[in-house]
Amino acid sequence: MLQMTFMKKQIIGAAVVVIAVMLTAWSKPLNEMIAPEKTISKNIRFEIFKTDNYTSSIYNDASAKLQVTVVKVRGTERCVVWQKNYDAKLLSEYPSAANAISQNIIIPNVADNKEHLEVLYTLTYDSKGSVMQLQDGAVISKGAKNGNLSINI
């Protein structure tokens, strides 16, 4: 009889632990089913233009290529959601600010209260085999539906 009571207590204790673990594991999915995250689309506009006329003979063989990447960040998770590579061209061939290369992109399904976007770019200059890379970017913060980035060559 004493053993039966002891076994019942162990079974009930084990059941409570199993239920607690299951509730902990399912709390996030259940919470999202009850109150799903609200997502928005974010608009990003960037412009590419030269800031110098590059007419000096030292720039005759100098070129630049560009890679633009949009990363969605949620806590420590990072996910590339858009990327474009621009082929190398001579510095003198890039347009001035008045005629800038312009790109508008829309990134859908951003959980604005938990995520932000980073617009990153790598600009690679090449002059007769000497290569230099510059990296920069901007953050499209929570609450902002639009972002702008000027990329100066």
Tell me which residue of 146, 116, 150 sits closest to 136, measured CA to CA.
150
Are 92 and 59 in contact by the 8 Å Cβ rule? The answer is yes
DSSP symbols for 21-63: HHHHHHHHHHHHHHSPPP-EEEEEEEEEE-SS---SGGGTTEE
Q: What is the pLDDT of residue 15?
A: 66
Gap between the Cα atoms of 121 and 10, Å rounded: 60
Coil, helix or strand at residue 76: coil
More confident residue, 122 or 30: 122
Q: What is the pLDDT of residues 6-62, one digit of tens each?
A: 566 666 766 666 676 666 666 666 555 666 678 999 999 999 999 998 999 989 999
More confident residue, 4 or 146: 146
CATH architecture assignment, domain 40-152: Sandwich (2.60)
Q: What is the pLDDT of residues 84-117, one digit of tens each?
A: 999 999 999 999 999 999 999 999 999 988 899 9
Q: Show me where the domains of the chain are located.
A: 1-36, 40-152
pLDDT-based confidence at residue 133 (cuts at 50, 70, 90): very high
User: What residues have CB less than 8 Å from 86, skipping those under 6 apart?
Assistant: 48, 65, 66, 67, 68, 101
Are 11 and 74 in contact by the 8 Å Cβ rule? The answer is no
pTM (2 d.p.): 0.75
Q: What is the pLDDT of residue 1?
A: 54
Q: What is the pLDDT of residue 142?
A: 84
Tell me which residue of 45, 39, 37 sits closest to 140, measured CA to CA.
45
pLDDT-based confidence at residue 3 (cuts at 50, 70, 90): low
